[in-house]
Amino acid sequence: MLVLIAIATVIAAVVQRVTGLAFVLVLIGPIVIAYGPVQGVTVAVLLAIIASLFAVPSAWRDVDWPRTLWLLAAGLAAAPLGALTAAALPQTALLFLIGAMGVLALSAQRLGRIARHVRGRPGAIGAGALAGFMHASSGLSGPALASFALGDDWPQRRFAASAQIVFLGYGTVSVALRGLPHTPLPELAVLALCTAGGMVLGAFAARRVPQTLARRVMLLCAWAGTLVILTRATASLLG
């Protein structure tokens, strides 16, 4: 099982480096199966911090600080509520809630007049608060950030760079709120090395992948993660 999780971690890190997000979206299914919903999410968030740390040096010069700081401020303010919600709600109810928020975030740009609210400073505050809540409760903040990136016409390169700072901030606060995972240290070390290796591989792939294709892959991963959440919630309800 550790070998399978290690492979999934490498793939998730490559996707994260190329698209700017989707590390947890790619990893959430396998890691939750291996470690359970609580510890699995905590491990995924911890590994996502490592991925962002590797990406920040090369992305630093492309960071869009005004947008980034608004997303960070709103997300960090909402993170405690996300952690409290995750602790209070039954697992099935929480999965449905997060899945519904993901669908809403990804569909916002298609909702006519509502789409205009996912732009500028109001859009950054709304998307950031939703992303911070989702990160602290499930690790899945990508859908809300992807929606804002599209609605605000954020260039993919600037968005991908800025997202590393956002994920680093969200992840650090989320781990502080959730606590460190109880996973054996040798397993965490293996997964951390796989994360680092995947980020290095992704750096080479990023130079050869067109921005348009990167945006499509980003959205595909975001939708896939959201649908996985809803599928798990439905299976849990029926079971």
Rounded CA-CA distance 151/107 in Å is 10
How far CA 77 is from CA of 41, 127, 133, in Å, comes to 20, 12, 9
pLDDT tens track, the chain, 239 positions: 889 899 989 988 988 888 777 788 888 878 877 887 778 889 999 999 999 998 898 889 999 999 999 999 999 999 999 989 888 888 788 778 777 876 776 675 565 455 555 678 888 998 899 899 989 988 888 778 877 887 888 888 898 889 999 999 999 999 999 888 888 999 999 999 999 999 998 888 878 877 677 667 767 776 776 787 788 788 888 86
Residues near 235 by Cβ (< 8 Å), separated by ≥ 6? none
